[in-house]
Structure 1
C-alpha cells in the first residue's frame, strides 16, 4: 500500500511539473492571460496524475489536449516539448499495462496527432517519432521483464511446493519406518515371551507406537491435501521421547544434549530425524544392545553422534535409512559418516552447520 501511494505521489509531482512547464511556455512565448493558461495547462497535465487508473483514457486526453493547445495557439510549436512530455508519460503506462496490440495502437495514435501539429518540418517530425517510439519501447520492455519475472516466480513457487511435498513424503517414510520397527520388535517379543506381564508391556508399546504413527501420518497427509494446521515440527526437545520408546523396544539408550537446545527449526528437525533413524537401525539390527546418543549444540553447528555396542554390521547399500540421513545433512552442507566403531558396534556421526 505504501509503495502504491509513493507511485501516486510521483505521478502527482510529475503532473505539477508538466503543468508548470506548459503554463510557462504559454506565458513566455505569447503572454497569454491566466484564465487561458491555467485551464490549458491543467487539461494537458492532469492525465499524468491519473494515468495508472485509466491508461488509455489518459493517453487519449493528453494527446488531444496537446493538439488543442497547439491548434489554438496557446502553445507555440517550438515549445511543444512540454505537452509531449505528458503524452510520453501516458504512452509509457499504456505500453506497460496494456497488450501489445493496444499499446501499438496508442503509439500510432499519439505519433500521428503530435506529428500533425509539429509544423510539418521533417526534423521536428522525426524527433517526435523517435521520442514517442523510444518511450513505447521502454514501456514494452518493462512489460516483458515483469511478465518474465512473474513466470519465474510462479515456476519457483511450483518447484518449492514440489520440494515441500517430497520432504513431507520423506518425513512420512521416517515416521512409518520408525514406528513399524518398534511394532515389529515388540510383536516378536510378545509372541515368544511366556510372562503375561512382558506380553502386556509389549502390546502397550505396540499400541502407543501405532497411535503415534497414525497421528503423524494424518498430519503429514493433511498438508498434502490442504492447508491444515499442524503442531510444531519435532526438534531437540523430542529426543527424550525417542530414547524412551527405543528403551521400551529393548535398547538401553543414554541421551545427552549439550549446549542450548534452541536451534533453527530445520536444523532441529533434521537432528531429530537423524537420531530417530539411527535408533530405528539399532532396534532393527542390534537389539538388545546399549546405545549412546550425544547431541552437541555449538554456535556454528549441531553435532549428532549415535553409537551402539551391537554386532557392528550393517548392509550400507540396502534400505533408505543411511541414505536419508546423508541427504538431510547434505541439505545444510554438513558432514556425515557411518560405520563400525573403533571399539565395536556401529557409529553414526553428523554435523549440521547453523547458517
Structure 2
C-alpha cells in the first residue's frame, strides 16, 4: 500500500511539472489570459497523475487536450514538446498495462493526432513517430519482461509445490512402512504363539506402535493445515525410540551415536529417516537378527551405517525404501551405498554433508 501511494505521488509530481512547463510554453511567446492557460495546462497535464488507474482514458484525454490547445492557438506549434511529454507518459503506461492491440491502437492514434497538429511537415512527422514509437517499444518490452517474471515465479511456485508433495509422500512412506512392518511382525507372532501371555505382549506392541504411527502421521499431515500446531521434526535425539521399537519386533539393535547431535534440522531428519527405513528392512527381511546402528557426527558430515547379521539378499529390490534413502542423501550431495555385507547380512551406508 505504501509503495503504491509512493507511485501515485511520483505521478502527481510529474503531472505538476508538466503542467508548469505547458503553462509557461503558452505564455512564453505572447501573453494570454489565465482562464485559458490554467484549464488548458490542467487538461493536458493532470491526467498523468491517474495514468496507472485509467491508462487508456489518460492517453485519450492528454492527446485530445494537446490537439485542442494547439488548434485553439493557446499553445504555439513550436512548443509541443511539453504536452507531448504528457502523451508519452500515458502511452508508456498503456503499452505496459494493456494488451498489444490496445497499445498499438493508442500509438497509432497518438501519432496521427500529434503529427496533424505539428504542421504536417515530413520532418516533424518523423520526429513524432520516432519519439512515440520509442516510448511504446520501451513500454511493451517492460510488459514482456514482467510477463516473463510472473511466469517464472509461477513455475517456481509449482515446482516448490511438487517438491513439497514429494517430500510429504516420502515422509508418509517412511512412517507407514516402518510402523506397519512392526505391526505385521507382531500380528504374525500373536497368531502363531501358543501362550496367551506372549500373545498379549504382541498385541500390546501392536497397540503402542499403531498409536505412535497415528501420532506421527497426524503431525506430518498437519503441515497441510494452516491452523495446525507444528511439532519439531524427528532427529538424531529420537533414534533410541527407533531402536526400542525394532527390538519389540525381534531385532536386537545396538545403537551408537558419536559426536554432537546438534545438526541442521533437515540433515537430522534425513539421518533419522535413513535409520528408520534401514531398520524397517531388517524387521521385514532379516528378523529375528542382530543389528548395529552407527551414527557418527563430525563437524562436516553425518555418517550413518546400519548392518545386520541376517540372511542378506542376493538382489536389491526396486521398492521406494532404498530409492527414498538415496534421494535424501542426494539432496545434500552425499554418498549412499546398500548391499550385502562382507561377512553376511546386509549393510547400509550414508554420508550427509552439512557444511
1:315 paired with 2:319, answer no
The equivalent residue for 1:245 is: 245
- RMSD value over aligned CA atoms? 2.8
User: 2:79 and 2:259 mapped to 1: Cα distance?
Assistant: 75
How far did residue 228 of structure 1 move? 7.0
* Equivalent pair of 2:222/2:230 in contact (CA under 8 Å): no
Matched ranges for 1:1-355 at <5 A: 1-30=1-30, 32=32, 36-217=36-217, 229=228, 231-232=230-231, 233-313=233-313, 315-342=315-342, 344-354=344-354
Number of residue pairs the alignment of both structures matches:
354
Cα displacement string for residues 233-290 of structure 1 (whole angstroms, at most 9, x for unaligned residues): 4333332221221121122223344444444443333222111101111212332333
Q: TM-score, normalised by structure 1?
A: 0.87
Matches of 1:318 and 1:36 in 2, distance apart?
A: 85
CA pair 74-353 structure 1, distance change in 2 beyond 3 A: farther
How many Å separate the matches in 1 of 2:26 and 2:297?
75
How many Å apart are 1:156 and its aligned residue?
3.3
- Bigger CA drift: 135-144 or 178-187? 135-144
| Structure 1: segments with no counterpart, 5+ residues | none
SS of the equivalent of 2:68 reads helix
Equivalent pair of 2:15/2:46 in contact (CA under 8 Å): yes
Q: 1:21 and 1:187, CA in 2 relative to 1: closer, same or farther beyond 3 A?
A: same
Alpha-carbon distance in structure 2 between the residues aligned to 1:344 and 1:231: 42
CA deviations over 1:148-174 (Å, ceiling 9, x no partner): 333333333333333332332232222
Distance in 2 separating the partners of 1:52 and 1:298: 57
Distance 1:269 1:118, change over 3 A: same
Distance in 2 (alpha carbons) for counterparts of 1:231 and 1:345 = 39
Q: Is the 8 A contact 2:182 2:209 kept in 1?
A: yes
TM-score, normalised via structure 2 length = 0.87
**Displacement of 1:36:** 4.9
Residues 338-347 or 131-140, more deviating:
338-347
